[in-house]
Structure 1
Amino acid sequence: MEPYQSTTPFGRRSLTLAHLATQVAASSRPPERVVHKWQIFRTICTARPRLGLSERALSVLNALLTFHPETALSGDDDLIVFPSNQQLALRAHGMPASTLRRHLSALVDAGLIIRRDSPNGKRYARKGRGGEIELAFGFELSPLVVRAEEFELFAAEIEADARALKLARERITICRRDIAKMIAAGVEEGVPTRRGGQGPADWQEVHAGFRAIVEGIPRSATCAELEPIAETLSQLADDIVSLLKDHIKTQNLSANESHSGRHIQSSNPDPLIELEPSLRKGGGARAEPEQQTPRMPEGSYPLGMVLQACPDIADYAKTGISNWRDFLATAAVVRPMLGISPSAWEEAQRVMGEVQAAVVVACILERSAAINSAGGYLRGLTVRAAAGEFSLGPILMAQINSKLRDQKRRA
């Protein structure tokens, strides 16, 4: 008598048409097809999002594969493994029995394995007189052979999507850096915009538009969401480059017409002194070339912590931020872009101190999309600081925690 292979699961488990379709496909697998079980497992791991499986379900599949003695899975082999729940749980790193059953059901529903249950639901194999297995009850792995090409297609699509997403993020990062530094250069050099304004007022408008785009980037974005943003930033970067090039050409023409030679920029490397005359020693007196690096007041926070809370300010630094002097110089560049008036800035420095006022500006930059008036916001914080009601620590910690939560969501 020919052995009869079970089709329906034991006990209360139901049979669905999807389960039956998987069994039909497995029964028609080509005998010449061979797949490497660990290669197909890695492919399934990559295709996991398309299959709707969890990482723990894949760990159960990994454990099932270890019970098949051969590395190759071929279409003409008997691909049924029959471990007990106890042995299977051990190879799944001690997974509880209830969790194991749930993930086995998920693998069956996803069409990766087939249940071949015995009359009493136990898993075992019946051997013939020669010792070979005649009939086995357990989990059949043949869908891995039948659907190998489908899994490879899923994996290729996911890898392509991941690459496109990575390229879009890289493009956005480069555009953000370029735009921020070009805006800073335009403000420092007093480059007029095409609307004819002189520097700060119009550059504030450009910077506000730039920050609005940046703040509109979703926390967990898809490639379809990021590509239009990348295109918008690229166009903005091209417009600013064109604006700066036109200014350079105008300067060169003016220099040639007046026979005054090349335009020579100030050799003073200290952008903080150039942009903030109020910070010079002795009012309008020229600053000494050698100045001590500013230090945070006692009881304040390290530079690394500030940059972790406010990373966007680094986009505006000429050569990066490695010390407090670089930080102060960059804050001086950002301050006019945010529309903070010199009087509000000087008052904040007087009340809070030079460095803490710069840290507040970095915090305002980080939340610029949610702040209608950066100057008014800074004045309000200055009043609170004068009354002893303002502390920088909670602001920094709130921003650090927010960014950590964003990183976890992306992960």
Structure 2
Amino acid sequence: MEMHITTPFGRRSMSLALMRNQIKATAIRQGKTVDKWRVFRDVCEARPLLNISDRALAVLNALLSFYPEKELSEDTGLVVFPSNNQLTVRAHGITGTTLRRHLAALVEAGLILRKDSPNGKRFARKDGAGAVEDAYGFNLAPLLARSEELADLAQQIAAERKHLRQTKERLTICRRDVRKLISAAIEEGAAGDWQMIETHYLSLISTLPRTATVRDIAPIAEEMEMLRQEIINLLETQMISEKSVANDVQNERHIQNSNTESQIESEPSDHSTPTAKPNQQTEQTIKPLQQPTQAYPLATVLQACPQIANYGPSGRIASWRELMTASVVVRTMLGVTASAYQDACDTMGAENTATIMACLLEKAEHINSAGGYLRNLTTRARRGQFSLGPMLMAQIRGRDSETRKAS
């Protein structure tokens, strides 16, 4: 397009921004065409970035309706010249003052240009055959020139809207989880300062503005997820501890019952019974009780795996309960599922599983899948092919070797 700079008619002033918009409108490659309604949809989508109102969009829609072709093209001319009365009708009856204000907003946004006649009137001059030779009115060339830019802006807004929707959904689900977990913990009498946790939850909710953006919601959603994980870790630790205690009680009863049955079988009966022959097998045989593996001293575990102390309740570990609490945090951090961790506790005991997690933390950078590693150890332990002692001692020797090299 040949560059042609025009100035506004009457009292409207000229500006460098208006000149830049006119120059930008001339940057149209030869033969370029674009669907006028597709461009209009992109403008509607990108409206927040273009700083125009929905009423201005109604005016732009009216202007496009006066363009006879579906495709915007330089070959068919890009100037429309409706009167204010015609525009008012097609723009849903807005007043003349409102119409002029929104036309000015479209010009300022660089979506249309004015091509004013010497007397400011809008009209077209035609040749003898009725074809338009020249026209004065509103030039739609910026829509054709900026079609790719407007499409990019529309995609940007759509992506931001999708991100906002996903962030809101994530926060909504997290809020529901936290609210119901707190209620369940309080109703069932779980140990913990649930009043303080609920206060923290309510403080997060109170910071949400009525009309929130992604920038408002994202940090709140992240902190809410951290609160949810903290609650889950706390409840998981209690469940593991309770299950460990229940298993110990059950094993103790099993041992007592087995000992009682053995004593009864070995005691002589007051009534005379036929003596069994040497080669006669008794109908009942007592299977030997497999004793659970005893946990190593806590001091030994902390000597071999000092990093686990960083995940203790107060940045240190002073008891097996605190070690188990820290191991649940480490489990989540290393990506070990709750089912794999529980299976290990059922097989090897909660204390030994916590010790294994401390060892895995020490060499986490050398393990591709901590969850798969733990499941493998659990399977081997169930077959009687794994002992924690060599693993722990190897960790101690490795630390001693590093200490000697450093000195």
Q: How does 1:32-47 map onto structure 2 within 5 Å?
A: 32-47=31-46
The amino acid that maps onto 2:10 is G
* In 2: Cα distance, 1:144 partner to 1:209 partner: 51
1:76 CA displacement: 3.5
Q: Secondary structure at the match of 2:124?
A: strand
1:211 aligns with 2:202: yes
- Aligned 8 A contact 1:60 1:104 in 2: yes
Query: Is the Cα–Cα contact under 8 Å of residues 5 and 22 in structure 2 kept in the other structure?
Result: no
Q: Does structure 1 retain, via aligned residues, the 8 Å contact 2:5–2:19? A: no
CA distance in 1, matches of 2:249, 2:97: 87
**Alignment pair present for 1:250 and 2:249:** no
The offset of 1:260, in angstroms, is 9.4
In 2, Cα distance between the equivalents of 1:182 and 1:28? 60
Distance in 2 of aligned mates of 1:76 and 1:19: 24
| Aligned residue runs from structure 1 range 134-153, under 5 A | 134-153=133-152
Secondary structure of 1:152's counterpart equals helix
Q: Indicate which of 224, 232, 238 corresponds to 2:223.
A: 232
State the shift of 1:88 in Å: 0.8
Q: 1:4 to 1:75 in 2, by over 3 A?
A: closer
CA distance in 2, matches of 1:85, 1:242: 68
Contact 2:168 2:217 in 1 (8 A): yes
Q: How does 1:249-268 map to 2 (within 5 A)?
A: 249-259=240-250
Question: Which residues of 2 match residues 9-408 of structure 1 at below 5 A?
Answer: 9-193=8-192, 202-259=193-250
**Structure whose CA Rg is larger:** 2
Deviations 1:70-117 (A, max 9, x none): 010124431000001001110001111111011111111111001001
Task: Give the deviation of 1:256 after TM superposition.
Answer: 1.7
* TM norm structure 2: 0.59
Q: Distance in 1 between matches of 2:70 and 2:30?
A: 16
Secondary structure at the counterpart of residue 259 of structure 1: helix
Q: 1:63 & 1:129 partners in 2: Cα distance?
A: 29
1:22-41 superposed Cα distances (whole Å, 9 cap, x missing partner)? 11122231122211111110
3-state secondary structure, aligned to 2:136: strand
Q: Deviations over 1:178-233 (max 9, x none)?
A: 0010011111121112xxxxxxxx11111111111111112222211211111100
How far residue 162 of structure 1 moved from its aligned partner, in angstroms, is 1.2
What secondary structure is seen at the aligned counterpart in 1 of 2:76?
coil
1:73 alignment partner, SS class:
strand
Q: Cα offset for 1:254? A: 2.0
Question: 2:240 and 2:138 mapped to 1: Cα distance?
Answer: 75
Per-residue deviation, residues 274-333 of structure 1 (Å, max 9, x unmatched): xxxxxxxxxxxxxxxxxxxxxxxxxxxxxxxxxxxxxxxxxxxxxxxxxxxxxxxxxxxx
Gapped regions of structure 1 (runs ≥ 5): 194-201, 262-411
Aligned-CA RMSD value: 1.9
- Shift in CA distance, 208/239, structure 1 to aligned 2, threshold 3 Å: same
Q: Which residue of 2 aligns with 1:279?
A: none
What is the count of residue pairs matched by the alignment?
251
Structure of greater relative contact order (alpha carbons < 8 Å, 6+ residues apart) = 1
Alignment check: 8 A CA contact 1:67 1:81 kept: yes
Describe the shift of the 1:203–1:5 C-alpha distance in structure 2 as closer, same or farther (beyond 3 A): closer
Counterpart residue identity of residue 71, structure 1? K
Give the Å deviation of 1:6: 6.9
Match of 1:299 in 2: none
Tell me how far apart the structure 1 counterparts of residues 45 and 12 of structure 2 sit (CA, whole Å). 29
Q: Are the counterparts in 2 of residues 30 and 75 from structure 1 also a CA contact under 8 Å?
A: no
SS in 1 for 2:77: coil
Structure 2: state its 5+ residue gaps. 253-407
Q: Hey, what's the Cα distance between the residues in 1 that align with 2:166 and 2:27?
A: 42
Q: TM-score, normalised by structure 1?
A: 0.59
Q: 1: CA distance between counterparts of 2:79 and 2:5?
A: 12
The offset of 1:157, in angstroms, is 1.2
Show the counterpart of 2:373.
none
- CA 1:157 to 1:244, structure 2 compared with 1: closer, same or farther past 3 Å? same
Paired-residue identity, %: 48
Cα 1:72–1:120 shift into 2, 3 Å: same
Change (3 A) 1:121 1:239: same
SS of equivalent residue, structure 1 residue 139: strand
